[in-house]
Amino acid sequence: MNFGLTEDQRDVREMVRKFAEQEIKPVAAELDKTHRHPEEICRKLGEMGIMGVAVPDEYGGAGMNNVTYVLCMLEISKACASCGVIVSVNNSLYGYPVMSFGTEEQKKKYLTPVASGQVEGCYGLTEPSAGSDAAALKCRAVLKGDKYIVNGTKIFITNGNVAHYCVLAVTTDPALGYKGVINLIVDMKNTPGFKVGKIEEKMGILASGTAELVFEDAEIPAENLLGKPGQGFKQMMMGLDAGRIGIGSQACGIGRAALEDALAYAKERVQFGKPISTFQAIQFKLADMAMQLDAAELMLLRAAWMEDNGLDYEKESAMAKCYASDVAMNAAVEGVQIFGGYGYTKEYPAERHMRDAKICQIYEGTNEIQRVVIARKLLGMR
């Protein structure tokens, strides 16, 4: 078993690390405070190929693999969690289904501008009554001639306020359950009957917009159907498997930031005449954070390697996302504790890491759902 990275992977990680340190981290606090979409950062990451890491270059991507994607996500998310999730949605939730199930024409038209970082993409799944129960969709598409007429509302859509394109999960008939689910590619700037609704006020990842998408007799060309009718739910599940690697990597990056900040502060903060890093209580916290984050990173790399090699990675991606987000939250909480009273103020980034980490236990499938997925795979249940 070889745990080493290829020369290309090391070079890409170092390139992204330098960019994150020099251009993302210095503005992370400002982005958090102003809730500003990091347009300039997204465009530069696109030029670097990072908005479509594993997408072939003929469709605007970098033509690398998912192990490299994990490495990039770790570095970006360590600098700014909001930038991390924007990159994750572009690559996984939007990029994966279009790349995997789209026609050649669909990929050239709808994947290339997103993978090259010219515009953002998003995935419209969650509804007021359909979150963890992803088959309970009410947003409905009725085929009329050469168009689908769509009515319904989506909520909590990451990138929804800025995205140009959306992969939209809808049902052709709610009574059919998962068998009625289809995915449509939506041009959000040129679709009659579509509008962006409420923008959520959130606890964390504040530079990443979370929006309501409203469809009122929206007209979507029938040619924008991904795959065939009846395949939508399977596409959705496969896309979420891929997406969980991205969100797990985002979480692990946040945890790494919390650890690095806590390490630096513990060496500087003096109490009882010596740095608090000399106290065993602090050392144990730091040691636990490091062990857990290393384990999470290895789990993420394993899941990504399995995806790259065409193996069934559903259980492994669920494990990696669940564990990485849990240990990231723990690292963020312990980071605040190590900073003490300063950790509860906005003078240091510890409180931001804590706010940002929490969502990773919720979106892309709550960690309770991840445990359901894991248990079903262990028990051989469908």
Give 310-361 pLDDT, tens digit per residue: 999 999 999 999 999 999 999 999 999 999 999 999 999 999 999 999 999 9
At the topology level, CATH places domain 122-229 in Butyryl-CoA Dehydrogenase, subunit A; domain 2 (2.40.110)
Beta-carbon contacts of residue 214 (< 8 Å; ≥ 6 apart): 153, 194, 195, 196, 197
* Architecture of the domain defined by 7-119: Orthogonal Bundle (1.10)
What is the mean predicted confidence (pLDDT) over 237-255? Answer: 96
Give per-residue pLDDT as tens, 359-375: 999 999 999 999 999 99
pLDDT score of 346 = 95
pLDDT score of 184 = 98
Q: Report H helices in the chain.
A: 7-19, 28-34, 39-47, 66-79, 81-88, 95-101, 104-106, 112-115, 232-268, 280-308, 314-339, 350-358, 367-379
Question: CA of 46: how far to CAs of 62, 137, 286, in Å?
Answer: 9, 33, 35
Q: Shortest CA distance to 121 belongs to which of 112, 130, 129?
A: 112
* Rounded Cα distance, 360 and 104, in Å: 33
Cβ proximity of 329 and 358 under 8 Å: yes
Query: Is the per-residue pLDDT at 1 higher than 80?
Result: no
Query: Is the per-residue pLDDT at 145 higher than 90?
Result: yes
Question: CA of 235: how far to CAs of 75, 103, 120, 228, 349, in Å?
Answer: 29, 14, 20, 10, 38
Q: Which option is the CATH number for 233-379: 2.40.50.220, 3.40.390.10, 3.90.230.10, 1.20.140.10? A: 1.20.140.10
Residue numbers annotated as active site: 364
pTM: 0.96
Per-residue pLDDT band at 131 (split at 50, 70, 90): confident
Cβ proximity of 151 and 218 under 8 Å: yes
Average pLDDT over the chain, rounded to an integer? 97
Give per-residue pLDDT as tens, 11-55: 999 999 999 999 999 999 999 999 999 999 999 999 999 999 999
Q: How many whole angstroms from its chain centre is CA 34?
A: 21
Query: Is the per-residue pLDDT at 132 higher than 90?
Result: no
| Structural tokens at position 261 | 């900040």
CATH 1.20.140.10 domain residues, the chain: 233-379
pLDDT score of 306 = 97
